[in-house]
Amino acid sequence: MWFLLFIVAVAALAGLHFWWRARFNTLQGQRVAEIETSQRRQQQTAVDAKAQQQVLFNSMLEGLLLLDRTQKIYLANRSFKNLFGLKVELRGKTILEALRLHELDDLVKRVQVEGQVFDYEVKLPDLSERWLQVNAAVINNSAGEREGTILVFHDLTRLKQLERQREEFVANVSHELRTPLSLIKGYTETLLDGARNDPAVAERFLKIIERNTQRLDLLIQDLLTISALESGRMKLELQPVNLHALTEKILGDLHTKAENRNVVLMNEVPELTANGDVNRLDQVIANLVDNAIKYGRVEGHVTVGGKQLEDGRLEMFVRDDGPGIPPEAIDRVFERFYRVDKARSRDQGGTGLGLSIVKHIVQAHGGEVWVESDPGKGATFFFTLPAA
C-alpha cells in the first residue's frame, strides 16, 4: 500500500515537474521572442531616426560638419561637400587632412576654448573668389562632457559680389557727378572773379557750364532709368510695334547729329512687327544709332536692319563702319560705366550707361543683345525681340 502511494506520489511529482518545465519553456520562449521583437523595434527606430537625420542634414542649404571629441570628422552633409567640391569619404579625417584650410583648423581650436564662434568669415583659396560664413559651437552631453563640435557653413559669395557691385556703383556715380560739378563750380568762380567782364570769355565759360549742366541732367535721367529697370518698377506697355516705322522716326530725330559728322543713316528694316513697349524700343534703337554715329567714323555709314528668325523671333541690328570694338572689350561694353575710350565718351557727352540701359530693356522684353566687331572695320549690335 505504502509502496503504491509512493509510486503515485513520485509519478505526480514527475508530472508536475514536466508540466512546469514545459510551461517554463513556453514562458521563456515567449519572453525571448518579446525581447527580440522589442530589440528589433528599437533597432528599426534607430535606423529610421538615422535615415531621417541623414535626409534632414542633406536637405539643408547650409553646409554642416560634425566633429567628434578628437576633432575628427564624424559627419559632413551634402551641401558641405558641394561647397568644397569634395566627393571622397571624409569620416575620420581631420579638417586639415580633408580641406587643407589652416583658417578653419584655427577656428576649431578657438571654438574649443571659447565654446562658440559666430559670423567667422573665410575666403576660399580657389580662383572663383568664394566667401563662406561659419558658425561653430562645441557640443556637450548632459554630464557637461565635451562630445564634439558642430560647424555650419553659409555661402556668402553672392552677397559679397552684390556688396562689391554696390560699392563700385556708388564710387562710379560719385566720380561721374563730381567731374561736371567741379567744372561748373570752377567756371562759375572764375566768372565771378572777373571773367564775366570780358563778354567773349564769359560766353565761352557759360557754354561750358551749360554743357556740363546738360551732362548732369543726362546722367541723372540715365541713373533713374537704370534704377527703375533694375528694381523691376518699370512696367512694359506691350503693343504691336512697327519696327520699320519706328526706325524711320529715330533716324529723323538723329538726322542733324549724323549730318554734323557727315554720316549717312540707312533704314533697311523690313516690315516687321514686334510685341514691345514702343517708348522703350525707341530708347534701344536710338541709343545704338547714337553710339554708331558718335563712335563710328566721320563720313561713315550707319545701317539699321532686321529679319524674322526661323523660331518666329525678330532679330534687329545696328551696324557702323567705324573703328569697331577691341576683342577684350566686347564682353564688357554692356557693363555700367564701362567705356573703351573714356575721354572720347566724355567728349561726346556719354554717360557710360547707354548700353547697360539697352541690355536691360531688351532683356525685359525676353530678348538678348550682343555685339560683333571686326576692329578697324566697324561694329554691329544685334538684339532679338518677340514678334507681335
Q: Which residues bind ligand ADP (CB under 6 A)?
A: 291-292, 295-296, 320, 322, 325, 333, 338-341, 345, 350-356, 379
Cα 280 to Cα 356: distance, rounded to the nearest angstrom: 13
Q: In whole angstroms, how close is the CB of 57 to ligand ADP at the nearest point?
A: 47
Angle at CA 41, nearest 5°, toward 39 and 45?
115
Q: In whole angstroms, how close is the CB of 95 to ligand ADP at the nearest point?
A: 47
Angle at CA 30, nearest 5°, toward 27 and 36?
140
β strands within 124-251, DSSP E = 131-140, 146-155, 239-242
Q: In whole angstroms, how close is the CB of 210 to ligand ADP at the nearest point?
A: 19
Q: In whole angstroms, how close is the CB of 166 to ligand ADP at the nearest point?
A: 19
Q: In whole angstroms, how close is the CB of 287 to ligand ADP at the nearest point?
A: 6
User: Which is nearest to 299 in space by CA: 325, 268, 320?
Assistant: 320
Query: Residue 383: CB partners within 8 Å, gap ≥ 6?
Result: 284, 315, 316, 317, 358, 362, 367, 368, 369, 370
Give the residue with the Cβ less far from ligand ADP, 130 or 294.
Answer: 294
Cα 324 to Cα 116: distance, rounded to the nearest angstrom: 58
Give the residue with the Cβ less far from ligand ADP, 63 or 350.
Answer: 350
Q: In whole angstroms, how close is the CB of 362 to ligand ADP at the nearest point?
A: 13
Beta bridge partners of 239: 276
Give the residue with the Cβ less far from ligand ADP, 78 or 297.
Answer: 297
Give the residue with the Cβ less far from ligand ADP, 110 or 297.
Answer: 297
Give the residue with the Cβ less far from ligand ADP, 81 or 301.
Answer: 301
User: Which is nearest to 247 in space by CA: 343, 164, 316, 158?
Assistant: 316
Give the residue with the Cβ less far from ligand ADP, 151 or 355.
Answer: 355
Listing from the earlier edge strand, what are the strands of the sheet with 63-67? 73-76, 63-67, 146-155, 131-140, 116-123
